[in-house]
Amino acid sequence: MSLKFFNTMTRKKEAFKPIKAGFAGFYTCGPTVYNFAHIGNFRTYVFEDILRRTLKMSGLAVKQVMNITDVEDKIIKACREQKVGLKEFTEKYTNAFFEDLKTLGIEPAEVYPKATETIPEMVAMIKTLMEKGIAYRGDDGSIYYSILKFKDYGNLAHIDVKSLKAGARVKQDEYSKDDAQDFALWKAWDANDGDIFWETELGKGRPGWHIECSAMSIKNLGETFDIHTGAVDNIFPHHQNEIAQSEGATGKKFVNYWVHSEHLLVENKKMSKSLGNFFTLRDVLAKGYNPRGLRYLLLSSHYRQKLNFTFGSLDAAENTVSGLIDFVDKLDGFKSDATDNKTISESAKKSLETFKEAMQDDLDTVFS
């Protein structure tokens, strides 16, 4: 086995050495279930499916954990606006997500933990951080992580913490590198949360987004595991904060390999509802396209390169897939003499080896 992946932490391609021989554990940042997943999301999920299949092809047993974020700022806002309960609202989009995974031929993960089912583990981790003096309660009643108390803060996102203002706080879950501040671990209840809260030792409130993934990954994969994946926009603040929380609580290295996929653009622009170029998987299929064509298109560029989606390129991808299907059908129905069959068999073996080598070299779907 000669697997290599580009590690975002070190900014270089590295040979994959699993913690446990013959086994790979990896965590995938799953959906925040407040809407149907869009094609940009599925670029990441398809890349992670290829990673999973490559690990298995290389002889490794795989345990993939993909979380379901079913309580978070956007979800609470949508529940309030639509006057729907949290469970009813999130189950609709969770079920739709699983249907979409199946539609795109994405293998199921071994575990799909939900944030709402992991509250005790989150509370325990926050208590540990407070006991260590890394987390503190703010004057608003919420509990924050003091990023200057973690000496390696910024190592994944390459942020110079020396320039940060001590004690500045941010309560929302998503923000830019320029706004790096102490972030919320536990959000004290306010009227906007309605009936979405938990009564715990930390007080009445709910978890921040970042602590959710730390708790769910450690619960299911241990304090140190092999691979953590996601899109590049997860690097900061989400994955950087996961590292700070997890290593701050356990005192151990959190993840050995960080592997991230690049953005999907639509007509060379960032996907946005305001630009009218925002498409869910279901939007694309409703236009009559085949999911196999979309899957092929999502793999047509290396995962670390931006991918530009157009409907013209999707048409071309569908034509390519049709050609491949015809080719396979001809091979299946091939009848000839033993000499020709032997030649074809040897050629197929060489092609398979070339394919394996490409996939094991940082998932080179373009060359393969």
Q: What average pLDDT does this structure show over 208-237?
A: 98
Q: What CATH number does the domain containing 223 carry?
A: 3.40.50.620
**Which comes out higher in pLDDT, residue 337 or 310?**
310
Query: Which of 80, 97, 81 is CA-nearest to residue 32?
Result: 97
pLDDT at 345: 73
Confidence of residue 204 (pLDDT cuts 50, 70, 90): very high
Q: Is this structure's pTM higher than 0.85?
A: yes
- Same domain as 219, residue 354: no
For residue range 16-68, list pLDDT tens digits in order.
Answer: 999 999 999 999 999 999 999 999 999 999 999 999 999 999 999 999 999 99
Q: Report whether pLDDT(242) > 80.
A: yes
Query: Which of 65, 75, 265, 243 is CA-nearest to residue 156?
Result: 243
Confidence of residue 330 (pLDDT cuts 50, 70, 90): confident
- Within 13 Å of residue 272, how many CA atoms lie on the same side as its CB? 5
Q: Which residue has the tokens 């993840």?
A: 255
Domain boundary among 261, 281, 302: 261
Asked if the structure places residue 315 within a domain, the reply is no
- Same domain as 360, residue 251: no
Total tally of structural domains belonging to the chain: 2
Q: What average pLDDT does this structure show over 319-335?
A: 81
Cα 215 to Cα 121: distance, rounded to the nearest angstrom: 6
